[in-house]
């Protein structure tokens, strides 16, 4: 992000990708769903990607992740692609393809942190 408005669809430069971006068909066929809610799914594709997709997924979320990653001293998964496809069953389906960050989620470790550690979370990178 160099100060220019982001143009959609967005695809990260090939040099940033651990492997090629999977096709929509590959995602549907091979990704492992670990969260599903009305109109959105979050899946893991291999060991490199997490894909959030569905008609109720907002590409603005991916744009915000790109902005935060490039402007703030916070950890955020790298976004590799933001795009939409038309689906005859449900209309437009939005896709956010991002880095799979391995580790425990904050929701899993929060209860184990003492107060000073909790205060450090927003300032850690």
User: What pLDDT does residue 3 have?
Assistant: 62
Report the C-alpha dihedral over residues 17, 20, 25, 28, rounded to 10 degrees. -40
Q: How far is CA 99 from CA 2, 20, 45, 90, 113, in A?
A: 21, 12, 10, 26, 26
Strands (E), the chain: 10-11, 32-37, 40-45, 49-54, 79-87, 91-99
Q: Where does the pLDDT of residue 73 fall: very low under 50, low under 70, confident under 90, or very high at 90 and above?
A: confident
Q: What percent of the chain has pLDDT over 70?
A: 94
User: What pLDDT does residue 28 have?
Assistant: 92
- Model pTM score: 0.83
Q: pLDDT at residue 108 above 70? A: yes
User: What pLDDT does residue 124 have?
Assistant: 65
- Select the more confidently predicted residue: 88 or 112: 112
Average predicted confidence (pLDDT) for the chain: 89
Residue with tokens 């916070």: 74
Residue of 88, 1, 12 lying closest to 49 (CA atoms): 12
* d(C-alpha 87, C-alpha 73), whole Å: 38
How many CB atoms are closer than 10 A to CB 51? 25
User: What pLDDT does residue 1 have?
Assistant: 56
For 92, the token pair is 């437009």
* d(C-alpha 50, C-alpha 79), whole Å: 10
In CATH terms, is domain 10-123 a member of 3.40.50? no
User: What pLDDT does residue 122 have?
Assistant: 73
pLDDT in tens, 13-65: 999 999 999 999 999 999 999 999 999 999 999 999 999 999 999 999 999 99
Write down the domain spans for the chain.
Answer: 10-123
């Amino acid at each position: 992000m160099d100060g220019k408005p982001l143009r959609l669809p967005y695809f990260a430069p090939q040099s940033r990708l651990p492997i090629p971006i999977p096709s929509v068909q590959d995602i549907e066929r091979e990704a492992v769903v670990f969260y599903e809610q009305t109109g959105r799914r979050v899946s893991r594709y291999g060991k490199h990607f997490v894909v959030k997709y569905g008609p109720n997924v907002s590409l603005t979320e991916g744009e915000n992740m790109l902005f935060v990653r490039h402007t703030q001293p916070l950890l955020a998964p790298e976004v590799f692609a933001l795009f939409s496809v038309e689906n005859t069953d449900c209309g437009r389906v939005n896709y956010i393809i991002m880095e799979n960050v391995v580790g425990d989620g904050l929701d899993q470790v929060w209860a184990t942190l003492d107060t000073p550690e909790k205060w450090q979370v927003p300032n850690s990178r």
